[in-house]
A = this chain, B = another copy of it.
Amino acid sequence: MKPLTDSIEAFIKSLLEEGQAQVDVQRNELAQYFRCAPSQITYVLSTRFTPDHGYVIESRRGGGGYIRIVRLRESRGSNLLYLINKRIGDSISQRDSEAIISQLFTSDVVTENEARLMRAAVSGEAINLPVAFKDALRASVLRQMLLEIASRAEEDDS
C-alpha cells in the first residue's frame, strides 16, 4: 500500500507542471481531498518541498488563508557555487545530499544516471564509517563531484 505522502507529493508536483512557477493551495481543502489530517499536508511540505529540494513555502493564516509553493528557478552556475561553498559544509547528512542531488536532476544540471551515480557514491553503504566521520566524508565526496560538474560549465551552457 502506497503511503499517502507520495500521492500528495505527486499531486502538488502535478499542479506545478505547465510551467507555473508557483501554486496556491488551501491546506484544509487539500486534506479533505485526501481524507487526512491537515497536518499531513504540512508534513509533506516540510519533508519534500524544502529549499534543498528547490522549493520555498509561504503561507498565510486566517480567513482566506493559503499555502503557496514556489519552485525555484535554477541559475545554474551561481547555485552550484553556493552548494559547493556554503550548503555543503564540512559535514552533510545523507538525507540532505539526497535532496541536493535530486534537485540537480530536476533542474537538468545532471542526467538521471548521473544523479544515481552520485547517490550511490554518498550512500551509507558506500561511506561505511563510524557516524562521527560519515557525514564529514560524505561532504568531501559530494563536493568533489560538484566541482567536477561545475567544471563542465563552459561547454553545455545552453
Residue contact B64 to A6, C-beta cutoff 8 Å: yes
12 CB contacts below 8 A, A to B, read A1-B64, A2-B64, A3-B64, A114-B117, A117-B148, A120-B148, A121-B145, A123-B144, A126-B143, A126-B145, A127-B140, A141-B141
Whole-angstrom CA separation of A120 from B84 in the bound complex = 14
Copies of chain A in the complex = 2
Knowing A140-B128, A144-B123, the reply to whether A117 touches B149 (Cβ < 8 A) is yes
Task: Tell me if A118 is interfacial: C-beta within 8 Å of chain B.
Answer: yes
The reply to whether the CB of A129 lies closer than 8 angstroms to some CB of chain B is yes
Query: 1/0 contact trace for A46-69 toward B, CB 8 Å?
Result: 000000000000000011100000
Main secondary structure of the interface of A (DSSP, over half): helix
What residues of B have a CB within 8 angstroms of the CB of A63 in the complex? 3
Size range of the chain A interface in the assembly: 20 to 34
- How far, in angstroms, from A121 to B119 measured CA to CA in the complex? 11
User: In the assembled complex, which residues on chain B have CB atoms less than 8 Å from the CB atom of A6?
Assistant: 64
Knowing A1-B64, A2-B64, A3-B63, say if A141 contacts B126 (CB, 8 Å): yes
Q: Are B116 and A144 in contact (CB under 8 A)?
A: no
CB distance from A2 to the nearest CB of B (A): 6
- Determine if A137 is an interface residue (Cβ-Cβ < 8 Å): yes
Q: How long is the Cα–Cα vector from A126 to B51 in the complex, in angstroms?
A: 14
B contact residues around A149 at 8 Å (CB):
117
A113 interface residue, CB < 8 Å from B? Answer: yes
In angstroms, how far is the closest chain B Cβ from the Cβ of A43? Answer: 12
